[in-house]
């Protein structure tokens, strides 16, 4: 059974703190194993990747077959039906249009001292996108990672997507083609992350790695950060729904289960001021669980990590939501925009009963790669900016240096950095000759 809480109860704060502190990441200590895998890839390159792929994915490869050939991709893509292709293309068009608006502009100006200041934005040169394979093979993840990178102007874009047992998802390859990916490697796990970060004879290193994965992938991304950039360390998926009593309980139940079916560590939370509605939703969840294909996974998630919280009003619901800082937040209320004004921490907000979180996973436009595990308190979802860098610009005229240089010299002296001060003083002395 999910946790049932009521803010009116005396023990609510302690129970809510326990809920917030619940660790849902995989308990297995994988860091030592990942460190060994990364060291092996760095030492043996292609052969290490090939050996590890045979061991973990039951797939025999050669250096020349680490990536799909154009002919293989064409053969697989031909298997995709017209309706599935149309859905992917619609999603891609909407994601591209949304992210195009995120592209930042260069700026420059001359300030009161006469100095020219500004910044310019440039894309990373190469990015590697990790896409889970096997049962969790998501073409939508290809679009969500690759399209912002292409909008940013990334020149070389590669995907690492494992194919356990040689099983290929044609939709993943089609999504890569639609998004403009240059190369798709059929490798995964920590070995793929290591290869993308450090390179091998066959695999060129990249500058940034993005995309979700299992505990091994997350640990590998954490370890290679600094050598390359990463998007985030993503944990299990989560959804929080704030709903009043004027909703269809079955709709809300399905929204909660849409995240619970991801994996047993996912979390679904309902917050409502209507106790009767909360009970109706819980019953609807139980009924729907009887028929879901992934009912074992969703049921375990709901029982182990789910929560139903009764509040005094919607304002209190918003305050609790901010403490959770959920990855996905649905506001199914009469005035979702008004309630959204009270939300300060959430990865993505879905406004109104006709905006299920699932629409955001695929076709609404905003990115579905979002901060988890309360990290929405300090971070944002994947965007075009993740594939760009800002370089600042400054140009001093002689007059500008005379105006502000003495202050720089003084600060350098106060920090006992003599050469700093002298580099400014030498120029000031020349101007004063």
Q: Distances from the Cα of 176 to the Cαs of 181, 275, 358, in angstroms? A: 5, 46, 21
Instruction: Tell me whether residue 316 is one of the annotated catalytic residues.
Output: no
Catalytic residue among 99, 262, 305, 328: 328
Helices 295-305 and 275-289: angle between axes, nearest 10 degrees: 150
* Matching residue, tokens 């990463």: 230
Catalytic residue among 76, 238, 264, 327: 327
CA distance 284 to 269: 14
Provide φ and ψ at 329, rounded to 5°. Answer: -130, 120
Q: Distances from the Cα of 397 to the Cαs of 120, 405, 423, in angstroms? A: 20, 11, 16
Query: Quick one: 274 exposed, middle or buried, by C-beta within 10 A (0-12, 13-18, 19+)?
Result: middle
Instruction: Dump strand ranges (E) for 111-231.
Output: 116-123, 126-130, 156-160, 183-185, 208-210, 229-230
Q: How many Cβ atoms sit within 10 Å of the Cβ of residue 14?
A: 10
H/E element holding 330?
Answer: strand 328-332
Q: Alpha helices of 160-209 — where are they, by DSSP H?
A: 170-179, 189-198
CA distance 178 to 156: 15
CA distance 430 to 276: 81
CA distance 204 to 165: 25
List of long-range contacts for 322-326, beta carbons under 8 Å, 24+ apart: 323/16, 323/20, 324/20, 324/240, 324/269, 324/374, 325/371, 325/374, 325/375, 325/376, 325/377, 326/238, 326/239, 326/240, 326/269, 326/376
CA distance 94 to 97: 5
CA distance 218 to 195: 15
Sign of CA dihedral 130, 135, 137, 138: negative
Instruction: Tell me whether residue 337 is one of the annotated catalytic residues.
Output: no
Are the C-beta atoms of residues 337 and 249 closer than 8 Å to each other?
Answer: no
Under DSSP, the state recorded for 116 is E
Q: Which residues are catalytic?
A: 327-328
């Amino acid at each position: 059974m999910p946790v049932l809480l009521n803010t009116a109860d005396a023990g609510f704060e302690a129970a809510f703190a326990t809920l917030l502190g619940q660790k849902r990441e995989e308990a297995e200590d994988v860091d030592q194993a990942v460190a060994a895998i990364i060291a092996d890839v760095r030492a043996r390159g292609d052969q290490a990747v090939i050996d590890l792929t045979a061991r973990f994915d039951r797939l025999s490869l050669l250096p020349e077959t680490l990536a799909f050939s154009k002919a293989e991709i064409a053969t697989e893509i031909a298997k995709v039906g017209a309706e599935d292709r149309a859905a992917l293309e619609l999603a891609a068009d909407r994601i591209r249009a949304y992210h195009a608006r995120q592209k930042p502009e260069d700026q420059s100006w001359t300030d009161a001292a006469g100095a020219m200041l500004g910044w310019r934005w440039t894309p990373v040169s190469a990015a590697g996108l990790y896409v889970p394979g096997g049962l969790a093979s998501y073409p939508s993840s290809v679009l969500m990672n690759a399209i912002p990178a292409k909008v940013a102007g990334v020149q070389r874009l590669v995907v690492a997507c494992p194919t356990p047992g040689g099983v290929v998802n044609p939709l993943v390859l089609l999504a890569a083609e639609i998004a403009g990916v240059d190369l798709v490697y059929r490798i995964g796990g920590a070995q793929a992350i290591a290869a993308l970060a450090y390179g091998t004879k066959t695999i060129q290193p990249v500058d940034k790695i993005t995309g979700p994965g299992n505990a091994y992938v997350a640990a590998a991304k954490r370890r290679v950060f600094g050598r390359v950039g990463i998007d985030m360390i993503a944990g299990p998926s989560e959804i929080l729904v704030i709903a009043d009593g004027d909703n269809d309980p079955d709709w809300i139940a399905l929204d909660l289960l849409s995240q619970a079916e991801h994996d047993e560590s996912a979390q679904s939370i309902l917050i409502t001021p209507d106790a009767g509605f909360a009970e109706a939703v819980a019953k609807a969840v139980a009924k729907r669980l009887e028929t879901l294909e992934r009912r074992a996974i969703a049921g375990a998630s709901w029982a182990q990590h789910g929560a139903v919280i009764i509040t005094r009003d919607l304002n209190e619901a918003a305050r609790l939501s901010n403490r959770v800082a959920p990855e996905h937040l649905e506001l199914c209320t009469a005035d979702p925009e008004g309630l959204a004004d009270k939300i300060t921490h959430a990865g993505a907000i879905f406004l109104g009963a006709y905006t299920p979180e699932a629409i955001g996973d695929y076709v609404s436009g905003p990115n579905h790669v979002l901060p988890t595990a309360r990290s929405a308190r300090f971070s944002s979802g994947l965007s075009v900016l993740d594939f760009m860098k800002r370089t600042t610009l400054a140009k001093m005229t002689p007059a500008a240096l005379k105006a502000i240089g003495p202050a720089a010299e003084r600060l350098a002296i106060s920090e006992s950095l003599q050469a700093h001060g002298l580099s400014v003083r030498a120029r000031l002395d020349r101007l004063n000759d």
